[in-house]
């Protein structure tokens, strides 16, 4: 269902003259451009389209309006499209490292007869970072690089021989300025 409420419409003049076919907005061909500024704009429009925003083209602008509600499935489908694009883009790296991942997973038969003894391991070596990266690609949400510092963690199960990986986690720098948080803490912007 798409929003029809005119008060929610946003007119955006992203392009001097919109020259693309809105019927093909979902296509990856839409984002083939040498102009990085135009590429960002096209990706933005494509992502809004994937989230069921209504997008109409007028003479000199695009009119976009949000859906009346967000269905969880629409968001999951949109995230899956982004996830698949990232997997495809990194396919060669993944194929070179998939055996490393397999060697660090438990066998099903071993899991059923063991006590779980979790241990957190901070990623310090290239091998540890590669393990984190390969497993991160298989989360349900798309993999993205993080701005700021991040401590990557592997969670291993010492209850099974070889201490296979049972999870990953990361701790990251907080966003510099979040007004509600800053006010609650008592930080004053100077």
Q: What is the pLDDT of residue 153?
A: 96
Cβ atoms of residues 114 and 163 within 8 Å = no
Structure tokens, 99 = 């055996």
Q: What is the pLDDT of residue 166?
A: 93
End-to-end CA distance of the chain: 46
DSSP string, 14-79: -SSS--S-GGGTTSGGGG--S-HHHHHHHHHHHHHHHTT-EEEE-SS-EEEE--SS--HHHHHHHH
Q: What is the pLDDT of residue 10?
A: 55
CA distance 30 to 39: 9
Q: What is the pLDDT of residue 14?
A: 55
CA distance 49 to 66: 9
Q: What is the pLDDT of residue 12?
A: 53
Q: What is the pLDDT of residue 2?
A: 38
Mean pLDDT by 10 residues, the chain (190 residues): 42 53 51 69 79 77 79 80 86 96 88 87 97 89 73 94 93 79 78
Q: What is the pLDDT of residue 29?
A: 47
pTM above 0.85, yes or no: no
Can you give the residue ranges of every domain in the chain?
Answer: 6-70, 91-172
């Amino acid at each position: 269902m798409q929003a029809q409420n005119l008060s929610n419409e946003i007119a955006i003049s992203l392009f001097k003259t919109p020259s693309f076919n809105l019927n093909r907005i979902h296509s990856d061909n839409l984002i083939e451009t040498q102009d990085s500024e135009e590429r960002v704009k096209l990706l933005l429009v494509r992502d809004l389209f994937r989230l069921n925003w209504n997008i109409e083209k007028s003479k000199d602008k695009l009119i976009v309006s949000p859906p009346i509600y967000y269905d969880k499935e629409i968001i999951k489908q949109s995230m899956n499209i982004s996830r698949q694009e990232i997997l495809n883009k990194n396919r060669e790296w993944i194929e070179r490292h998939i055996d490393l991942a397999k060697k660090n997973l438990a066998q099903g038969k071993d899991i059923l007869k063991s006590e779980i003894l979790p241990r957190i391991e901070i990623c310090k070596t290239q091998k540890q970072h590669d393990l984190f990266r390969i497993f991160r690609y298989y989360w349900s949400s798309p993999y993205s690089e993080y701005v700021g510092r991040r401590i990557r963690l592997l969670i291993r199960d010492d209850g099974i021989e070889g201490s296979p990986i049972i999870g990953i986690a990361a701790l990251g720098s907080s966003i510099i300025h979040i007004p509600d948080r800053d006010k609650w803490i008592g930080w004053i912007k100077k």
